[in-house]
């Protein structure tokens, strides 16, 4: 099994071009189900997860071709069944539900099952489809949804903010008869990206990026070319890497506005952060100063950067209180950081981190995507060699990570781990 050997201690210095956003690309790929006309997506990162999604779309009958980071889809779907053996590999597969229902009036999608960071139910997705007129049954581990006469517009009020449920509701509403109002929606930049691509395909959506989105249903969508936004979580990961290795990194092709909450706390912890329209430069000023964070839906501090920030707090000057409010089990990186000498105490959704002068080399294990990259960051600060096993988790969300970090002075290489 693939592992990563990291010889840390070097300050990261240089430029990194940020790739397309995984969490924008995954719902955007599902738009290939919504029209038989060609949809050409640019800047689609080549990741385990995007490759899995392309495979799922082919399973549905969509013609999918990839040329570098450009994916072209045409032909629409010929079957509406997303089987367990595909869906269980990636939760985002549930995002085929809205498109299949909207375009074909039926969908049979396996319940995704849990994952490392929590049970991650899909009740909000199901209720949104029902609000638009679908008949939905949960049976045999599947969501079985039908809308024989097509979907009809409605008012959906989300009791809690959900990125995926917002995306499924949005994709379903664009082909529903009449207008829809989606209230208390997620405001992540990836939602606006999905809405903007749908509008390029002929949808009529306004309000994306705010907490209420209005949709005027249309008969059909047409061909479009669209470029996926850059990955704010990848950029945030590298920004933290610069701050915690005493480095100086310039991140290219990223809008700083998508990372305000992180950049504010990086400045609080002593880094110098400068921005232009499409670059962010992070320069460390000595050892980071401890700071507290609470994760929150966008524009709050992203839960997808919590593990990475915790890695930085493990070597910060002072104590940090980290509150994870989005997922019930997103501290899987803690036991592994403890193996590296960190001082962390967890009580429910709160982790108290007391900064150490330095961590120590240790073999550790990746458990989920963001936890695994937090271990990479921790290892980059440690003189001596650390080994991280099960790094297939990393490959789900970071393209060419070794190359990008290696070009900035990091010493890491893939190894075989028993
Ligand atoms: C998306 O997951 C992202 N994944 C996650 O990134 C991210 O952590 C999460 O949003 C929060 O920002 C993709 O975009 C592919 P949610 P999603 O629905 O949509 C609960 C990564 O590392 N909930 O916003 O599944 C849920 O349990 C991944 O790239 C329900 O209760 O997240 C959670 O507590 C990890 N019922 C909260 O809402 C539902 O029907 C927020 O989840 C749906 C969600």
> What digits encode the pLDDT tens for the residues 187-222?
999 999 999 999 999 999 999 999 999 999 999 999
Given the CA of residue 370, which atom of ligand 1 is nearest to it? 22
Give pLDDT, residue 112: 85
Query: How far apart are the C-alpha atoms of 326 and 118, rounded to whole Å?
Result: 10
Residues 47-74 as b/e (b if ≥16 CB within 10 A, e otherwise) read: bbbbebbbebbebbebebeeeebebbbb
What is the SS3 assignment for 276?
coil
> What's the confidence (pLDDT) of residue 114?
66
Evaluate: CB of 124 within 6 angstroms of ligand 1: yes
The answer, yes or no, to whether residue 174 has pLDDT greater than 80, is yes
Cis link prior to 118 (omega < 30° from 0)?
A: no
Say yes or no: CB of residue 101 within 6 Å of ligand 1: no
Region 149-171 average pLDDT? 97
Centre of ligand 1 from the C-alpha of residue 117, in Å:
10
- pLDDT over 90 (residue 298): yes
> What share of the chain in percent tops pLDDT 90?
95
Alpha carbon nearest to ligand 1 atom 18, residue: 162
Ligand 1 atom with least separation from CA of 122: 40
Question: Is 52 a pocket residue for ligand 1 (Cβ < 6 Å)?
Answer: no
CB of 333 shorter than 6 A to ligand 1: no
In this predicted structure, the answer to whether residue 334 has a pLDDT above a threshold of 80 is: yes
In tens, the pLDDT along 46-88 reads: 999 999 999 999 999 999 999 999 999 999 999 999 999 999 9
- Active site positions, annotated: 115
Q: Which residue has the least CA distance to atom 16 on ligand 1?
A: 162
Shortest-distance Cα residue to atom 1 of ligand 1: 163
Pick the CATH number of 22-227 from 3.40.50.300, 1.20.1260.10, 3.10.129.10, 3.65.10.10: 3.65.10.10
What CATH code is assigned to 2-19+231-416?
Answer: 3.65.10.10
Question: Would the CB of 121 count as within 6 Å of ligand 1?
Answer: yes
Q: Is the CB of 163 under 6 A from ligand 1?
A: yes
Q: Do domains 2-19+231-416 and 22-227 have the same CATH topology?
A: yes
Query: Which tens digits make up the pLDDT trace of 28-52?
Result: 999 999 999 999 999 999 999 999 9
C-alpha to C-alpha distance for 224 and 41, rounded to whole angstroms: 8
The residue ranges of every structural domain in the chain are 2-19+231-416, 22-227
Burial 391-407 (b: 16+ CB within 10 A, else e): bebbbbbbbebbebbee
d(CA 102, CA 254): 33
Which tens digits make up the pLDDT trace of 248-257? 999 999 999 9
Main-chain dihedrals φ then ψ at residue 220, nearest 5 degrees:
-155, 160
What pLDDT, on a 0 to 100 scale, did the predictor assign at position 396? 93
Query: Counting atoms of ligand 1 from 1, which one is nearest the CA of 303?
Result: 8
Q: What's the rounded Cα separation, in Å, for the pair 359 and 343? A: 10
CA neighbor of 40 nearest in space, from 62, 63, 73, 68: 73
298 vs 392: CA distance, rounded Å: 27
Over residues 295-319, the mean pLDDT reads 98
Classify 391 as helix, strand or coil: coil
Between CA 321 and CA 345 the distance in angstroms is: 10
């Amino acid at each position: 099994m693939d592992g990563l050997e990291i010889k840390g201690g070097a300050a990261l210095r240089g430029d990194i071009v940020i790739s397309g956003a995984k969490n924008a690309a995954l719902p955007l790929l599902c738009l290939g189900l919504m029209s038989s006309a060609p949809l050409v997506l640019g800047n689609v990162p080549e990741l385990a997860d995007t490759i899995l999604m392309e495979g799922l779309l082919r399973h549905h009958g969509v013609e999918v071709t990839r040329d570098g980071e450009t994916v072209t889809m045409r032909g629409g779907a010929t079957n509406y069944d997303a089987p367990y053996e595909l869906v269980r590999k990636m939760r985002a597969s549930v995002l085929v539900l809205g498109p299949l229902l909207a375009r074909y009036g039926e969908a049979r999608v396996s319940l995704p099952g849990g994952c490392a960071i929590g049970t991650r139910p899909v009740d909000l997705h199901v209720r949104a489809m029902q609000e638009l007129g679908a008949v939905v049954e949960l049976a045999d581990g599947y969501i079985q949804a039908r809308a024989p006469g097509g979907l009809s517009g409605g008012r959906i009020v989300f009791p809690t903010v959900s990125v995926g449920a917002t995306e499924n509701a949005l994709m379903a509403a664009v082909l529903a008869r009449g207008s829809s109002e989606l209230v208390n929606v997620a405001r992540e930049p990836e939602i606006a990206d999905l809405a903007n691509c749908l509008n390029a395909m002929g949808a009529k959506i306004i309000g994306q990026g705010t907490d209420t989105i209005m949709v005027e249903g249309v008969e059909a969508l047409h061909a479009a070319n669209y470029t996926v936004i850059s990955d704010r979580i990848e950029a945030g990961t590298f920004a933290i890497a610069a701050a915690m290795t005493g480095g100086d990194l310039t991140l290219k092709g990223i809008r700083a506005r998508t990372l305000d909450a992180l950049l504010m706390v990086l400045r609080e912890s002593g880094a110098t952060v400068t921005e232009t329209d499409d670059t962010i430069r992070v320069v460390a000023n000595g050892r980071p100063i401890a700071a507290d964070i609470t994760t929150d839906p966008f524009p709050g501090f992203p839960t997808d950067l919590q593990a990475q920030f915790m890695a930085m707090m493990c070597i910060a000057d002072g104590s940090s209180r980290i509150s994870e409010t989005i997922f019930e089990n997103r501290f899987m990186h803690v036991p592994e950081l403890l193996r590296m000498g960190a001082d962390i105490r967890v009580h429910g959704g709160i982790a108290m981190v007391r900064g150490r002068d330095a961590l120590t080399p240790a073999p550790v294990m990746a458990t989920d995507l963001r936890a695994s990259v937090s271990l990479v960051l921790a290892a980059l600060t440690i003189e001596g060699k650390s080994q991280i096993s099960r790094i297939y988790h990393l490959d789900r969300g970071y393209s060419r990570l070794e190359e990008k970090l290696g070009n900035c002075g990091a010493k890491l290489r893939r190894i075989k781990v028993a």
